[in-house]
Amino acid sequence: MIIGNQKISTFVSSIFAVFSILYLNYFHSSNIGGFATAGYESFINISSDIAIYAYIITLFVIPTSMILGLLMLLFLQKLPRETHYRKTLPLVGISLVFDFMVLDVLSLTGTMQLSARIFVVVGIVLTFLAYFSPDIYQKKLKTKEYS
């Protein structure tokens, strides 16, 4: 199991929280975005390139590169199949959720938003299955001994 230092994780999460608060404060005080809804569609019109780039970098580039780095480290280690399953499937699910959240915000049509939101749910289900795997997967991965 990957266990980190609590002081370092508190520091890093505080940096992300401060950056998020500053970004949202800048976003709302500058009247950058306009929100529009129509039926099942919700659009955010962003008139600033800096806000779009900051959103993409913080929600897509940094987490995806961290997830890919963790996946590479996991695949280089010799671990049991159950451990690989329980560690890689949540990372893949989280990556799907982040990617399609970005696609949801940047999409221009309601159909693209709907498909992006469906894949967000798929990522959530994958992450759920990693922690609460069905008996079929447990038999295949030989995590439990059945008599």
At 92-141, the pLDDT tens digits run 888 888 888 888 877 777 788 888 889 889 888 888 887 777 777 777 76
Residue 77 lies in a domain: yes
75 vs 70: CA distance, rounded Å:
9
Interacting residues of 2 by C-beta distance below 8 A, sequence separation 6+: 70, 87
Look up the pTM and report it: 0.60
Which residues, listed in sequence order, are joined to residue 33 by a DSSP beta bridge?
A: 46
Phi, psi of 38 (to 5 degrees): -150, 110
Residue 2 lies in a domain: no
7 vs 10: CA distance, rounded Å:
5
pLDDT tens profile 131-146: 777 777 777 766 555 4
Residue 20 lies in a domain: no
Residue 120 lies in a domain: yes
Question: What total number of domains does the chain contain?
Answer: 1
Range of the domain at 73: 48-141
HEC profile of 6-51: HHHHHHHHHHHHHHHHHHHHHHHHCCCEEEEEECCEEEEEECCHHH
